[in-house]
Amino acid sequence: MSQLIVQTEKLNFSYSKSKKDIDSLDLEVPKGSIYGFLGPNGSGKTTTIRLLLGLLNKNSGNVKVFEKPFANNRIDTLSKIGALIENPSLYNHLSARENLLIASNYRGNIKKDRIDEVLETVNLLRVKDKKVKTFSLGMKQRLGLAIALLSKPELLILDEPTNGLDPKGIIEMRELIKKLNKEDGITIFISSHLLSEIEKTCTHVGIIREGKMLFQDTVKALTASQSDQLQIELETDDKHRTYDQLIQMGFEIKSIEHEEHLLLVSVKEKSQIPVLVDSLRKNDINIYQVMIKNNLEELFLNLTEN
């Protein structure tokens, strides 16, 4: 198994006694990955990130970053992490370059030419002397990213970096993230509430809801499980004839629900659904309902509704 850059074990945290905000969370971020932390608003993404960075104190469980317990190596660990949480705090009345100068001053150990380097990386070199208040949101986000890159981090943590950006801004940020991962080998942990965003950018994914990890694997495995094990719920006017007909056609019928008219049928891909429907219609079976029941798919629907 590949080396884990971030690992939590049974991480628990609550803001108040009434509710568990992070609930026994096991997070595993492999070295070199772009890890998408996916969950609807309020599911605990920002809270988890604050716990990883030691900005909040966990109630119980372990947090390891770079294979060491975070608590014992805080300063050393943080020097290797670049983070962008929610909106970057920038001085609007100053230029991009001046913002980076200030950030590098309180970070220390950063050479002057590093500022132009990061400006170039995020494609802001040409506007480096313009005041930040004239910047679009996308440019401000990229400047925030430039600040996070100043200390040449091994791990970048980005909290919803495309939130509020226009389509062009989203694509620029996505390409930038991929480039930093590929060319500089930076492991990237990125949170989002959009499945489509994670699918396009990430190699790995963890899905969180109400503080619990629901699924964690490679994006490839996620896509495969989406298309491989499609289950559909079928309601017709004649359950037994439907059953016989589908068995004859070679469909796998996983279980017969207790409900009078419902069948649960496995199909390999969506394109089999119209085939199935056509054959039932040809046999004068009336179809009242065809519903995709794949757990993961349902999960996504819920997630992406937000």
Residues that bind ligand ADP (CB under 6 A): 15, 21, 39, 41-47
Residues of this chain, 108-167, that bind Mg ion according to CB under 5 A: none
Of 45 and 128, CB closest to ligand ADP? 45
Instruction: Choose the contact partner of 201 out of ligand ADP, Mg ion, none; CB within 5 to 8 A by kind.
Output: none
Long-range contacts of 106-110 (CB under 8 A, 24+ apart): 107/150, 107/151, 109/151, 110/150, 110/151
- Binding mask 4-43 vs Mg ion (x if CB under 5 A, - otherwise)? ----------------------------------------
In angstroms, give the least distance from the CB of 263 to ligand ADP: 37
Of 46 and 187, CB closest to ligand ADP? 46
Beta-bridge partners for 213: 208
Instruction: Choose the contact partner of 288 out of ligand ADP, Mg ion, none; CB within 5 to 8 A by kind.
Output: none
In angstroms, give the least distance from the CB of 76 to Mg ion: 27
Q: Is 46 in the site for Mg ion (CB under 5 A)?
A: yes
In angstroms, give the least distance from the CB of 89 to ligand ADP: 17
Crossing angle for the helix pair 137-149 and 167-184, to the nearest 10 degrees: 20
Task: Please work out the total of residues on this chain that contact Mg ion, with binding judged by CB under 5 A.
Answer: 2
Check if the beta carbon of residue 233 is closer than 8 Å to that of residue 263. yes
Tokens of 284: 């004068």
In angstroms, give the least distance from the CB of 25 to ligand ADP: 11
Of 45 and 128, CB closest to Mg ion? 45
Identity of the residue numbered 183:
E
Of 128 and 209, CB closest to ligand ADP? 209
Instruction: Choose the contact partner of 95 out of Mg ion, ligand ADP, none; CB within 5 to 8 A by kind.
Output: none
Instruction: Choose the contact partner of 91 out of ligand ADP, Mg ion, none; CB within 5 to 8 A by kind.
Output: none
Tokens of 3: 């080396």
Count of other CB atoms within 10 angstroms of residue 227: 12
What is the 8-class DSSP label of residue 154?
S
Beta-bridge partners for 159: 191
What is the 8-class DSSP label of residue 162?
T
Give dist(CA 49, CA 46) in Å, integer: 5
What is the 8-class DSSP label of residue 112?
T
Number of helices (H), then strands (E), in the chain: 11, 14
Q: Are strands 68-69 and 60-65 parallel, antiparallel or unpaired?
A: antiparallel
Of 46 and 242, CB closest to Mg ion? 46
Of 55 and 291, CB closest to ligand ADP? 55
Of 159 and 235, CB closest to Mg ion? 159
Residues that bind Mg ion (CB under 5 A): 45-46
